[in-house]
């Protein structure tokens, strides 16, 4: 059973609809104490880094997610679900005068695009640079296109976790993978056939 984390933000309906289309059994996680009863976890979302992180800490999901990832259990983060895995973000260095730290599961930071035209909204080609649970073969020939909407991107301290990259005024990390942890900046649930393929790969490669 796949658990979809609901912390009050994100494209939850779209994610659930795509999982149903792929024949996957999924349900919303009722709360942080219920995370462990699921086989795999998806953490979708969009929104503000500081607000999202403060909400996760307040309702207890932050520690539950950290424990899940420490145990190296199957996890897929989407959009803000990728960014929150990092240590900090230029979007929200602090909230109400208090420093905001991410889940700090992956060393690195979240940075704002240097170009004036943000957010990036729309389709972008994405190159998978290594064998991945998301795409078992690195990109060759025609690269997949995914749907993005974001003004910030992750910058891992260790490049070895980068599974995919894309370009938007500069080269940026579009996906990470480390053990059973996978996370993407784009929205596979809104990315047509390529998004369906990626989600199907994730569902079947654990």
Q: Is the peptide bond before 119 cis (omega within 30 degrees of 0)?
A: yes
Token representation of residue 75: 């996890």
Residues involved in catalysis: 79, 187, 189
Distance CA 31, CA 12 (A): 15
| Share of the chain residues as helix, strand and coil, in percent rounded to the nearest 5 | 30, 30, 40
Token representation of residue 44: 């979708």
> Are the C-beta atoms of residues 104 and 63 closer than 8 Å to each other?
no
């Amino acid at each position: 059973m796949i658990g979809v984390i609901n912390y009050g933000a994100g494209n939850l309906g779209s994610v659930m609809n795509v999982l149903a289309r792929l024949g996957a059994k999924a349900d919303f996680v009722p709360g942080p104490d219920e995370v462990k009863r699921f086989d795999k976890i998806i953490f979708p979302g969009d929104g503000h880094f500081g607000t999202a992180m403060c909400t996760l800490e307040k309702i207890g999901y932050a520690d539950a997610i950290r424990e899940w990832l420490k145990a190296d259990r199957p996890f897929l983060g989407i959009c803000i679900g990728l960014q929150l895995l990092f240590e900090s973000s230029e979007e929200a260095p602090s909230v109400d005068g208090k420093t905001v730290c991410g889940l700090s599961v992956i060393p690195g930071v979240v940075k704002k695009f240097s170009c004036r035209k943000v957010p990036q909204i729309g389709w972008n080609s994405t190159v998978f640079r290594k064998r991945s649970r998301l795409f078992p073969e690195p990109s060759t020939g025609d690269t997949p296109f995914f749907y993005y909407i974001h003004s910030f991107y992750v910058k891992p301290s260790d490049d070895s976790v980068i599974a995919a990259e894309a370009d938007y005024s500069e080269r940026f990390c579009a996906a990470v993978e480390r053990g059973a942890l996978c996370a993407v900046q784009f929205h596979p649930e809104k990315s047509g056939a390529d998004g369906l393929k990626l989600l199907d790969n994730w569902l079947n490669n654990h």
